[in-house]
Structure 1
């Protein structure tokens, strides 16, 4: 009985090595499981003795589950561990593959994400929770902030996938993206073998998903923003609602473009679909969109109100030898931002770590800068290397790049020799939060950049700041933000992973991604405010979006209550929301009242036993009728679950449950009350 390990070079390896490794895999090598014969084509691969999979750390933070998981408890299931970090584009790319595997092997496979963070900011469980929401991850995730699980599995790069058989032994390992077929075959073999041996557990499992704990907001993780001073319009990439929001500078809604469903449909703006759009560029009535999730560039004719795909096939680029081709026939890989200069559209192509160029007149795509190696390397456009470029800006002579994964700001000379140079920042694993000049400065995964009047403004995403860079002196200063996540306006504002920004003559507009908000910084007064988009609502809720989640909560037993016999009593649920919050009108509020003891004492109408209502249909306190028709003792259980959001509809909504056990005594005493009041207060900083 042997186990076989397949390893592909990690995400920092030279691209030519990755291509060579993938070529070997394409010969038909299979990640084979313990005890089965391997293909003759795998003879050169290293085999090893059967190894028990190390147990998972139980005390780490767990998400998408209401309890820690263990491999021991999952015996009988095929388990796939995904070692990832959420700023890694390659890790993002494999999420669709994981979803396909989870769907295909719904009763046999359990995927567990092991989040081993590269950046300090990525180690916070709350930040991981928001990424889970942003990318629709539905499998359990453990926060391996201390790298305990990483070290126990001897992992060396992101993403790494470890397959574990139903007896708890490691069946194989692959590193990098693009291994769906390999893993599919291996899991299929494992399922067949352990089903034959009677050791496969095919009972379905369900988990308490993070997406079910929150309501919907008008904006959902907006990634980028574009302010057009001439028309006084804002274009907002409402990324997780898969649409573009157009509003006036005062926040008045003009229109939404896209249905809100993820897809890639061209046509009228009210029927077209996008998938996690990001950067935009405007040319008169033509709005160009980096449709990141579709690996495509879309063009919106704002006058004719039509959407058209002008670059990309809808499939992710896998052949990194491609240097140019017809725009509609050439695959792209996670285009993240756009910059229009003349009739050339420059594309921050995060996936292959390059800058691409789209000739709008000729309909041709080409690699403009970057070797494809993920690194910080200056030099000619062909020699230079980038690391997940995610933001673009220009002064018409220079193209500026927010090179997010290498934590630096780059400049590409457009006027003379076309060389690439680093203006400020550190390197792939040299990041932080420090003002200074050139290489002395430190950023942490900057995603956005904008140019205005000789200055660059930078969305220093993981530092929750807006920074200012003088491209001549290469001096970096903090412009706004405390360095801590938050949502505070005024002269000392806080942000939460801002992803994009756009500058006009007097204001900076910020896509404050994790706050689901547009923030406005006044350049004259240095005041920051939140801009509500008047009239904007989330896309029409789907059955999936409105799934109710009732957190487990221990009931509070109250002292015995007396009620007057023979009269209709009222149970009052008086729950006070935090100041500045309201019930989420798009989520199902829930209350239940059950008679635990004393059916012959109390009467409870069927309609009041389980109440579900929408936030706009009810006001607190909630009043539920009871009728104590006989003297005696009874007991009732009450539970309420509320979904509530900030009044400005910008903060992430929260959920809170309460439970009470109430002993009651029905008495023939006219002085006894006819009301049972249950009171609770939700703190603003509560769960």
Structure 2
């Protein structure tokens, strides 16, 4: 018989979030405990969160989930940045900041995400590395609760927490992930509010698209629902916006003329098939589409969850893998042999797609014409080869870049975890910092005498660059002639359900 392993106690002198006090496994005796080892950059870790939320609500009197944040990137080690991730992804369980991988090592964890299941007597009884199957985990917990109920070793009780979101002021925008400047106006993916905002360039609100509540509903602008929408591309001729509705795992079409939203690809369920495949748009499950760009009648999609680039023919509504084997990594080769690592930004010059390949902190090129090759333009191409180094080609170091925009023969890059905006030459691989001093903050000014907080989206129109400054909950505007950075004001905008007449920017707190 295999000896049972007593779970190592959790450090009480480390930083804890979403709780007033550190939690100990000793005080949780009598409850099932799941330790979720995660890092907030990781798409697979994010895929586990809905499962955990479902289970912690279903078994709220007998299950405690504790997130153990063991950071991959340097930027993810900062407590405030972890707190922002908790708010962005609406995490409602306690999170322990695992400084120096202490808890990770004590539990012999080897990969993100990993779930450790601890029984009511304080013993580790199982673990799951990778994305957990919700039904299997649900069954395991139900059996564990029944077993210990029969033994008399379970302690049913409500467990209350003080969440970070209860202390967070409500802002007109919430974690805007992407922005798109078009002749029709400025489209903003108001990701944290699960809606789209369309304004003119003076900040006047033209349309609010979506109810502001997470869901998957087609229909009129005031009826439609999204879930953490991200990248967008615009068909000027037909006045149609295409959207990566990331947490719904779908692509949506927003018709400005008819003022209706329609789902054009995805089933609403996450695909677990990473192998290249194809099918009818509405019959093919997708995996966290993060950004897209339109070339002719084809949409190209940065499919972050399956580490691939996909394409959709807008005439036939067929969707298919364009590049990437589905393995996470960096491999330059033909379309079918190449590998990516959580591609999160996409743009094009018409001859080549350019990708912000976030988990390898690199900029990639994907051919649209023969010989259809994939190349690395700059960055190390290594999963742990990150930093903040300007220079040439493989000597360049970025840190989890999420946004990219082609304009005037150059690539603007949102070097997200370095809080900077950089300029890359696709022909030479040269990369230089243009905006931001590398510290998280909200500071207008000129050039490097400015600050951002995890900027994630970029869009250029005429002589201005627009930046989705995600953790600052604002849109920034850059005059490309002077490099002067300002914050765009939206006087008529407020968060869903909290508008107070005459004071659109009133700051309230979450209940």
* 3-state SS in 2 of match to 1:138: coil
Query: Equivalents in 1 of 2:141, 2:82: separation in Å?
Result: 27
Listed as ranges, the matches of 1:296-315 within 5 Å are 296-315=250-269
The partner residue of 1:241 within 175, 193, 210 is 193
- The number of equivalent residue pairs is 502
The partner residue of 2:89 within 126, 135, 138 is 135
Query: Equivalents in 2 of 1:128, 1:336: separation in Å?
Result: 21
Report what 1:372 is aligned to. 326
Query: Equivalents in 2 of 1:420, 1:49: separation in Å?
Result: 50
* 3-state SS in 2 of match to 1:532: coil
Query: Equivalents in 2 of 1:136, 1:440: separation in Å?
Result: 37
Q: Give the 3 Å change call, closer, same or farther, for CA 465–585 of structure 1 in structure 2.
A: closer
Q: Given that residues 275 and 326 in structure 2 are in contact (C-alpha distance below 8 angstroms), is that contact kept between their aligned partners in structure 1? A: no
Listed as ranges, the matches of 1:251-270 within 5 Å are 251-270=203-222
Task: Give deviations 1:143-188, integer Å, cap 9, x for gaps.
Answer: 0021000000000000000000111100101100032122111111
Q: Given that residues 171 and 507 in structure 2 are in contact (C-alpha distance below 8 angstroms), is that contact kept between their aligned partners in structure 1? A: no
TM-score, normalization: structure 1?
0.72
Report what 1:587 is aligned to. 509
Alpha-carbon offset, residue 583 of structure 1: 9.8
Q: Does 1:162 align with 2:116?
A: yes
Report what 2:459 is aligned to. 502
Query: Equivalents in 2 of 1:522, 1:152: separation in Å?
Result: 51
Alpha-carbon offset, residue 61 of structure 1: 0.9
The partner residue of 1:273 within 209, 222, 225 is 225
Report what 2:141 is aligned to. 187
Alpha-carbon offset, residue 585 of structure 1: 4.3
Query: Equivalents in 2 of 1:199, 1:510: separation in Å?
Result: 54
Report what 2:167 is aligned to. 213
Q: Given that residues 190 and 196 in structure 2 are in contact (C-alpha distance below 8 angstroms), is that contact kept between their aligned partners in structure 1? A: yes
State the superposition RMSD in angstroms. Answer: 1.4
Q: Does 1:516 align with 2:438?
A: no
The partner residue of 2:440 within 479, 485, 489 is 485
Q: Given that residues 343 and 356 in structure 2 are in contact (C-alpha distance below 8 angstroms), is that contact kept between their aligned partners in structure 1? A: yes
Q: Given that residues 228 and 246 in structure 2 are in contact (C-alpha distance below 8 angstroms), is that contact kept between their aligned partners in structure 1? A: yes
Structure 1: segments with no counterpart, 5+ residues: 3-47, 543-581, 590-687
Report what 1:321 is aligned to. 275
Q: Given that residues 167 and 509 in structure 2 are in contact (C-alpha distance below 8 angstroms), is that contact kept between their aligned partners in structure 1? A: no
Listed as ranges, the matches of 1:310-459 within 5 Å are 310-321=264-275, 323-426=277-380, 427-459=382-414
Q: Given that residues 421 and 434 in structure 2 are in contact (C-alpha distance below 8 angstroms), is that contact kept between their aligned partners in structure 1? A: yes
Alpha-carbon offset, residue 320 of structure 1: 2.7
Alpha-carbon offset, residue 126 of structure 1: 0.6
Task: Give deviations 1:548-576, integer Å, cap 9, x for gaps.
Answer: xxxxxxxxxxxxxxxxxxxxxxxxxxxxx
Query: Equivalents in 2 of 1:441, 1:75: separation in Å?
Result: 49
Q: Given that residues 291 and 345 in structure 2 are in contact (C-alpha distance below 8 angstroms), is that contact kept between their aligned partners in structure 1? A: yes
Alpha-carbon offset, residue 534 of structure 1: 2.2
The partner residue of 2:180 within 196, 212, 226 is 226
Report what 2:492 is aligned to. 535
* 3-state SS in 1 of match to 2:213: coil
Q: Does 1:90 align with 2:12?
A: no
Report what 2:24 is aligned to. 70
Query: Equivalents in 2 of 1:587, 1:174: separation in Å?
Result: 37
* 3-state SS in 2 of match to 1:95: helix
* 3-state SS in 2 of match to 1:509: strand
Alpha-carbon offset, residue 253 of structure 1: 1.3
